Amino acid sequence: MTETTVRTPPEAMDAATLEATLDAALDAARAGDAARVEALLDPVHPADVADLLEQVSDTDREALLAMGSAVIDGEVLSEISDAIREDVLDALPDEVVAEALRDLDSDDLVDIVEDLEAEDQGRILGAMDAADRVAVEAALAWPEHSAGRLMQRELVVAPAHWTVGEAIDFLRGADHLPDQFYHVILVDPRMVPVGYVTLGRVLSSGRDVALKAITEDSFRTVEATEEEAEVAYIFNQYHLISCPVVDGSGRLVGVITIDDAMNVLDEEHEEDMLLLAGVGEEASVSDGPLETVKQRLPWLVVNLFTASLSALVISQFQNTIATLVALAALMPIVASTGGIAGTQSLAVAVRALATRDLTRANAGRVVRRELLAGLMNGVGLALILGAAGVLIFGDWHLGAVLALAMMVNQVVAALGGVLVPLTLERMGLDPALASGTFVTTLTDVMGFFAFLGLATVMLT
């Protein structure tokens, strides 16, 4: 990698100061005052500059990007949301892009390039230094969403037979070192990693101590073809700080650090939340109206058809509703309460599946717990709603129908919330993909059926 430029450390600004600074920078950009923009944004953290670019209108974003390097550097580019990154890169001159990319490690370069269209990829690769371009092209050869795409090639390696003194002398004499690294990776003559040593252990040990004597018990490797979600799980499960990446023959090809692994974990959680809400896994506040419609309309259409099942159930009990009009007013109470309960159970189950806290080994116990919890919630709500039915309508039969229907739907909601995502997971599908639609439909249909069915038997 080439030598990075020196940047003024970002200041820790309070919210009010940051907002005022960003507003002033935006005003300066509208006026075309690049020097003023640079002076205002230089002490601002790159993540906050990226937020500014994401949140402003297209016109204001164009004004900011026209300021070129006064606004954009490598750290800002790496922080910008994928939703607008391609538009940002298209708006920047090649020389500004080249200068910004020069500051980035290989993993950040890959993150920027991998989702671009082929034409834009070629343009960005052409703007890189030769060494950076070779590293990125090698990373892009690995499968998408794999450890090979996630790793960085900037690492510190030492022969396994070295002492602490030899390692320290090497580090002090090296022309280039990664901006941040946590371990010195020990390798054998075939470049196969055999352990690693933390910088703290290196600095606190005597010069004559063998590096092999102070290696960490947490050492493990991952293959470059491993799914990045699996890598993130390993980091989280075993509290890793960094992890060497090897090829099929076990040779060292890179390293993954905790910041990249946690980014993957955050993306997985965000994706699950968006899918549960039925808005698409790449939804963003930066999306335009048309893109937003494309993401949401398909799920709304699906919900339209599933909602028709509820209407079909209700239509089977027209005579019962006509006999006692109060049933029409009370139906939404049973259905909506069941929907909320199902969502509660579903959120816990999807999260547990993502973190692997819910597995085949404990699925039976979790299902029994949800069944018992649903029954207990149903009894509590049944007592409240049944009593209200008696007091308001003066009919204990109606109160009993409300109470029994509530108990049935709470049990159905609790079971559906855990069984639906479990079933999808067993089928090899993303548990978050359609669970919300299925669970909502299940609670609505069963809620209406239980309530109106019981009313038909007990009140007519």
Residue 147 Cα distances to 326, 438, 458, angstroms: 60, 33, 62
Whether residue 172 sits in one domain with residue 132: no
Q: What is the CATH number of the domain that holds 42?
A: 1.25.60.10
Distance, CA of 268 to CA of 150 (rounded, Å): 14
Q: Is residue 226 part of a domain?
A: yes
Scanning 280-325, the segments in alpha helix (DSSP H) are 289-315, 318-323
Q: Is residue 133 part of a domain?
A: yes
Distance, CA of 120 to CA of 78 (rounded, Å): 16
- pLDDT score at 5: 42
Whether residue 451 sits in one domain with residue 316: yes
Look up residue 37 and give its two tokens. Answer: 């923009």
Task: Give the least confident one: 186-200, 270-284, 391-405.
Answer: 270-284
| Amino acid present at 160 | A
Average pLDDT, the chain: 86
Q: In this predicted model, what pLDDT tens digit does every residue of 94-147 receive, in sequence order?
A: 888 888 888 788 888 888 888 788 888 888 888 888 888 888 888 889 998 899
Give the full edge-to-edge strand order of the sheet including 193-198: 157-159, 183-187, 193-198
Q: Helices (H), strands (E): how many in the chain?
A: 21, 6
Whether residue 125 sits in one domain with residue 177: no
Whether residue 421 sits in one domain with residue 338: yes
Phi and psi at residue 67, to the nearest 5°: -80, -10
Q: In this predicted model, what pLDDT tens digit does every residue of 392-421 receive, in sequence order?
A: 888 888 889 889 999 999 999 999 989 988
Q: What DSSP element (H or E) covers 455? A: helix 431-459
Whether residue 454 sits in one domain with residue 319: yes
Res. 6: pLDDT tops 50: no
- pLDDT score at 404: 92
- Residue finishing a domain among 109, 141, 173: 141
Whether residue 216 sits in one domain with residue 323: no
Mean pLDDT score, 249-274: 85
Look up residue 100 and give its two tokens. Answer: 């910004």
Look up residue 233 and give its two tokens. Answer: 């799980």
Q: Choose from 90-94, 149-153, 245-249, 430-434 the range with maximum mean pLDDT.
A: 245-249
Whether residue 169 sits in one domain with residue 50: no
- Residue finishing a domain among 141, 167, 189: 141
Q: Is residue 210 part of a domain?
A: yes
pLDDT band at 185 (very low <50, low <70, confident <90, very high): very high
Whether residue 375 sits in one domain with residue 419: yes
Whether residue 391 sits in one domain with residue 361: yes
Domain count, the chain: 3
Whether residue 440 sits in one domain with residue 314: yes
Whether residue 130 sits in one domain with residue 23: yes
Look up residue 456 and give its two tokens. Answer: 């038909």
Whether residue 132 sits in one domain with residue 47: yes
Q: Is residue 5 part of a domain?
A: no
Q: What is the CATH number of the domain that holds 382?
A: 1.10.357.20
Domain of residue 380: give its range. Answer: 289-459
| CB contact at 8 A, 334 and 412 | no
Res. 299: pLDDT tops 80: no
